[in-house]
Amino acid sequence: DQQVKQNSPSLSVQEGRISILNCDYTNSMFDYFLWYKKYPAEGPTFLISISSIKDKNEDGRFTVFLNKSAKHLSLHIVPSQPGDSAVYFCAASVRGYQKVTFGTGTKLQVIP
């Protein structure tokens, strides 16, 4: 049972435009959400997170939005740059428990 779902395996965006990556979850106990970025032949690196007490968190070009009622979060990248081309993983956890559940990933390609 996939508790964290990323339904788009891939996404292509023109440089300078907005990239929107989506993530849905089914476990209502999740209250902490993270996005990781992964380049080929490297380990994932942490990008941005959000707690369930917030609905938005920004860090430079990256913004994560959380809609608890819809059990949906999204990552916005504005403006998109070719160096953003990578696989993006959504992840979720229950505060107080260290186990993190990852989605299947979305491969973003930013076209120059």
Partner 1 sequence: NAGVTQTPKFQVLKTGQSMTLQCAQDMNHEYMSWYRQDPGMGLRLIHYSVGAGITDQGEVPNGYNVSRSTTEDFPLRLLSAAPSQTSVYFCASSYSGVGAYEQYFGPGTRLTVT
Interface with partner 1, residue 112, by CB under 8 A: no
Whether residue 4 contacts residue 94, with contact meaning beta carbons closer than 8 Å, is answered with no
CA 19 – CA 89 distance, rounded (Å): 14
Per CB under 8 A, does 43 bind partner 1? yes
The overall longest dimension of the chain from CA atoms, in Å, is: 42
How many residues make up the chain in this entry?
Answer: 112
Instruction: Decide if residue 100 touches partner 1 (CB under 8 A).
Output: yes
Contact call for residue 70 and partner 1 (CB under 8 A): no
- The residues binding partner 1 (CB under 8 A) are 4, 6, 9, 32, 34, 36, 41-46, 49, 51, 89, 91, 93, 95-96, 98-105
